[in-house]
A = this chain, B = another copy of it.
Amino acid sequence: MRKENISDAVIRRLPRYYRQLSDLRARGITRISSLSLGREMGITASQIRQDFSCFGEFGQQGYGYHVRELCEEIGRILGVDRDHHLILVGVGHLGHALLQNFPFAKCGFSVDAAFDTAPAVVGCTVNGVAVRDMDDVDEWLRGNPVDVAVLTVPRGAAQDVADRLISLGVRGFWNFTNLELDSTHPEVKFENIHFSDSLLTLSYRIAND
């Protein structure tokens, strides 16, 4: 029974399923039951079957799941096959690191350009991506619309940059500034990576156990 409203908890588990299934594929395993998948991931078979049933019927009674097919299904659900496009804004140390290391293509994203304000980096090419002047972003986006912007700008600039990009049609923000950004447009999505929140939860757990 396909569900209308998928809960956030389910959505957040999907990438883990996708990772685990990719790993199983790489190990040459072709079929798996919810029970053994659950054992490998430390969750219950019930939860796995409930989660998958939100999106369709991917298994077969008495057999389990075909690893490759299930992996591809979940990839499609996540949009990995859609060839999304993005730009990266703010080519400091972190922006640079993402351009150099992060496997955007494996997540289904093409990095079309990067932008910055500093003359020292504008005009450079980082891992095949041209760094352009932030002043040109309006004109450039009109000719090259993108789905997502990676925000690796300093705190102070974040909300302004986001507002500007929203007005230019950007719908998703991968936000690395330690700010809760928001927008009046409900269709604009923010996904935040709050490094310090993460380290603080670790701090809490080593201090209290």
Contact = CB atoms under 8 A, between A and B. Distances in A.
Main secondary structure on chain A at its contact with chain B?
Answer: helix
A123 B38 CA distance: 45
A53 B104 CA distance: 42
Interface string A78-121: 11101010000000111011101111101111000000000000
A184 to B, nearest CB: 14
A101 B108 contact: no
Interface in A1-33: 6, 11-12, 14-16, 18-19
Interface of A: 6, 11-12, 14-16, 18-19, 77-80, 82, 84, 92-94, 96-98, 100-104, 106-109, 147-148, 171-174, 178, 180, 187, 189, 191, 193-209
